[in-house]
Amino acid sequence: MRFDDELFNYVLGAAKEFENGLDDNPVVPSADNIKAIEIFDEPLPKGKTKALDVIELLHEVGTPATTLSRGGRFFGFVVGGTLPVAVASSWSTTTWDQNPALTMLGYVNAKLEQVSQKWIVELLELPKTSAVGFVTGATMAGFTALSSARHRIYKNLGYDLKVGGLRNAPKIRFIISEDIHATNIRALNYMGYGTDEFEFVPVDKQGRVIVDQMPALDSRCIILIQAGNINSGAFDDFPAICELAKKAGAWVHVDGAFGGWLKVSKTRSHLVKGMEQADSWSIDCHKWLNVPYDSAIAICRDREAMIETFTISASYLTTDGDRIPNNFTPELSRRARGVDVWAALKHLGQDGFGELIDRCSDHAKWFSGALDKIGFTIMNDVVINQVVFCLDDNDDARLKDIMDKVALSGKAWFGPTRWHGRDVYRMSISSHETTKADLDVALEAIKEAMEE
């Protein structure tokens, strides 16, 4: 069975129709359109359905029920958009159906992972020999980097985890920002550790680790800090923390799911000063690099630790090529996601990527100023693309009412959050689609909701 012209042309048309609706369709689908997806819940078909009919159903029912999170007026979570070049590259790799587990199963992917690794390390000014693994998201990037950190610590202690197992292992200490993104805790849970074992370090009002309150460190410590707090966008004090860690021989891991890219900014790279002194980093590509899901990178200064943690050998697995991609990731078979990373970086270039980061951050700054003028209080220092806000009168119930009305208008969507013990709202701008005109529409929607 091959792609026939009818199917190929239909899917192209459907994609175009979706794209054309990005500016005018409601940001969040209507209740009726969400209800319509119930049609998928049918008994398992016994016979065949023509491919075109399957895709027609998907488009006719699925497209109206999409949340336009890749569009210019979705400001919830930190989701990014997707660049046309990366959508196109992902179509190509899906059509090729390459498995990047092994070089010979995907020569192009292995080469483009190698090239992307070189470019990323250069872009972020990290040690040249750093290893980069291409994984599904920042959660798994954290798991990958932290597992490599653990391997190094045990190896230094002469303990082989793969043989002795976790129950017999020496104790490792985890020193963790109190405001760390929850997925890091999940990653440590996957690794077999629980919260009772963690030493949490208090944070300041922006969610930055208070360095003076770090415990005494030693060479069995893994420290988890952040480049880009999920609410405020704040950055930890990398030079001070890395200096303490270096003296003690501890490992520093930076969760930079979105803020990890700030080095490319022309105006804000000072925020990540010293980040390169850490030992490992987890960064999403499906957020601010604007490639399709699922895509993130785990980077380790200690290349050997990463390779020793993840290498799989089996009698039938070939080991040709300069880079055996599965040596850097928890999975064996996976999607050729390195190709999309290469396509986005090649398309944007260092300058274009920097402009994307700065444009989103400038928009956030402008919008926070505009909110401030119409009765809102900005609760964070707006340093990058994140804005946390409440009403001047601190009426959080009225705030929710206003933001619900904005969501219902279909013109924009802002996400609720809990910040400093309050139920407030948060804006994140991380899509290349967001323009000043989008901000105007969103602001108008808020004003209208306030007047209602």
Ligand X SMILES: Cc1ncc(COP(=O)(O)O)c(C=O)c1O
* Positions in the binding site for ligand X (CB under 6 A): 77-78, 137-139, 181, 183, 228, 230, 255, 257-258, 284, 296
Q: Round to whole Å and give the CA distance between 228 and 254.
A: 10
Assigned token pair, 241: 């923390």
Q: Round to whole Å and give the CA distance between 97 and 91.
A: 10
138 versus 300: smaller Cβ distance to ligand X: 138
187 versus 406: smaller Cβ distance to ligand X: 187
110 versus 146: smaller Cβ distance to ligand X: 146
143 versus 154: smaller Cβ distance to ligand X: 143
Residue, CB closest to ligand X: 137
> CB of 82: closest distance to ligand X in angstroms?
14
387 versus 449: smaller Cβ distance to ligand X: 387
> CB of 136: closest distance to ligand X in angstroms?
7
260 versus 354: smaller Cβ distance to ligand X: 260
> CB of 127: closest distance to ligand X in angstroms?
23
> CB of 352: closest distance to ligand X in angstroms?
23
> CB of 77: closest distance to ligand X in angstroms?
6
> CB of 183: closest distance to ligand X in angstroms?
4
> CB of 55: closest distance to ligand X in angstroms?
28
Best CA proximity match to 367, nearest among 352, 389, 391: 389
Assigned token pair, 44: 């398992």
> CB of 138: closest distance to ligand X in angstroms?
3
Q: Is 134:329 a contact under the CB 8 Å cutoff?
A: yes
Strands 422-428, 386-391: parallel, antiparallel or unpaired by DSSP? Answer: antiparallel
183 versus 309: smaller Cβ distance to ligand X: 183
254 versus 264: smaller Cβ distance to ligand X: 254
